[in-house]
Amino acid sequence: MERAKKKVENGEITLERKGLPRTNKPVMLPKNITWLKQSNILTLMAADFSVLQLKTVILLVEKMQRYIQQNIDCKEEGIVGSSQQLSLFTDNSNIVTIELAYKDLGIRPYQYAELKVVLKQLTSIPIELKTIDARTGDRYCSYQALVAKVILNETQKYSRNFEIHLDKDIAMMFVDIDKGYTKFIKEIAFNAKCKYTVRMYMLISSWSQKGGFEMTIKEFRKLFMLGKKYAKYKDLYKRVIRPAYEELHENADCWFEVAEKYALPNDSEPYKLSFKVIRSSASKAEQEQLNKVKENIANMCYKHFHMVDWHMQQLLPKITLENAPQVYNKIIFLGEYIKNNEVKSDADYALKGLIKEIDNIHS
């Protein structure tokens, strides 16, 4: 992406970087695709993991797929508190144990010693999680390690498996889809050579249905836990954004372009980044699934709020497979609220609440 001239766009000073030429050819995705669903809490988690550590996290997400899908199904059926009812959390233990295989990380036996060092670091690398108090609306940040313990077999030189122990609250986070979920292709994340590509791919996947998002430089640096690294934007772009852009461009189901936002015309450093997410065409199966979800949501809104077609025209274009669980949650909440409180128009009130909930998913 080459540097272009600044211009005023929608009242903002913008510099767009010209991307690599688009071929407009069908994207050649991996032959065997594994779609994973990941909690948006995890997608937006601030962390600085290596590629191997990120692959380990992705394997944990893959191991959780059955429980994540159960949670999604429960939300669609209007079952409240479904995370706590999953079979993963039915015992009294405060630890969830997951066994992983070395070979699933795509490394050879002679690399095991190096990998063990990387795995041990998972117990001490800090992550930052954003939480909101349901009662007060207060926002909090919590800092802790993602992994409580790693169990490695030291007797067998080339043991095949290892164990990851997660604190119960962290394991709950893996399956919590109250704030929606991110859907991405495991093989694309695994094929990435740069750790920033993996995180960028997850991030843009979470926004792919909306077409893009904006983030301040401060927020971007915090998400990737860059600290004082790449203090100048030109270095941040060269070391973080550009490698991810080049790896993903027309090589994934979605990729991105970036524009820089400046407060003043003569500023040398942008204060905000605007990402445009480019998607390859949705598969027929995905479109059919989305149509079914929209139909279910429409039927619920007709039944509970007496919405008419005008309301559906405002709401349904905003529905995605990723934000649907949160929409189901909000419908249940609004239904209870309207039942116990007087509002001017059930349909208008519910529509406003649902649109606000969708727009705030990533805030």
Domain assignments of the chain as residue spans, ordered by start: 32-188, 192-280, 284-359
* Beta-ladder partners of 254: 279
Name which residue leads in pLDDT, 187 or 23.
Answer: 187
Could you list the beta-strand ranges (E) of 159-268: 161-167, 181-185, 212-216, 254-262
What DSSP string describes 124-143?
TSEEEEEEE-TTT--EEEEE
For residue 271, the model assigns a pLDDT of 96
Query: pLDDT, tens digit, for every residue of 14-59?
Result: 988 777 887 777 788 888 889 999 999 999 999 999 999 999 999 9
Average the pLDDT over 252-276 and give the result. Answer: 93
Residue with tokens 């007709």: 302
Average the pLDDT over 103-121 and give the result. Answer: 87
Determine the Cα–Cα distance for residues 41 and 175; give it in Å rounded to an integer: 9
Determine the Cα–Cα distance for residues 152 and 219; give it in Å rounded to an integer: 36
The architecture of the domain spanning 32-188 is Orthogonal Bundle (1.10)
Say whether 192-280 and 32-188 share the same fold: yes
The architecture of the domain spanning 192-280 is Orthogonal Bundle (1.10)
For residue 1, the model assigns a pLDDT of 47
Band of pLDDT at residue 282, cut at 50, 70 and 90? low
Determine the Cα–Cα distance for residues 335 and 124; give it in Å rounded to an integer: 44
Could you list the beta-strand ranges (E) of 217-309: 254-262, 272-279
Answer whether residue 125 shows pLDDT above 60. Answer: yes
Average the pLDDT over 106-129 and give the result. Answer: 88
Determine the Cα–Cα distance for residues 128 and 46; give it in Å rounded to an integer: 5
Band of pLDDT at residue 219, cut at 50, 70 and 90? very high
Q: Nearest CA to 270 among 8, 71, 14, 20? A: 14
Determine the Cα–Cα distance for residues 174 and 83; give it in Å rounded to an integer: 10
Could you list the beta-strand ranges (E) of the chain: 7-9, 12-16, 35-39, 95-101, 126-132, 139-145, 149-151, 161-167, 181-185, 212-216, 254-262, 272-279
CB 260 within 8 A of CB 276: no
* Beta-ladder partners of 131: 140
Structure tokens at 183: 């859907």
Structure tokens at 128: 């930052």
Residue with tokens 């970087």: 17
Share of the chain above pLDDT 90, in %: 58
Name which residue leads in pLDDT, 282 or 242.
Answer: 242
For residue 321, the model assigns a pLDDT of 76
CB 312 within 8 A of CB 267: no
Task: Out of 80-94, 185-199, 243-257, pick the least confident.
Answer: 80-94
Return the top range by mean pLDDT from 73-77, 219-223, 354-358.
Answer: 219-223
Is this structure's pTM higher than 0.95? no
Task: Out of 104-113, 206-215, 309-318, 351-360, pick the least confident.
Answer: 104-113
Answer whether residue 163 shows pLDDT above 90. Answer: yes
Average the pLDDT over 214-223 and give the result. Answer: 96
Structure tokens at 23: 């071929």
Band of pLDDT at residue 10, cut at 50, 70 and 90? confident
- For 110, which DSSP code? G
Name which residue leads in pLDDT, 274 or 27.
Answer: 274
Structure tokens at 100: 């992983």
Band of pLDDT at residue 78, cut at 50, 70 and 90? low
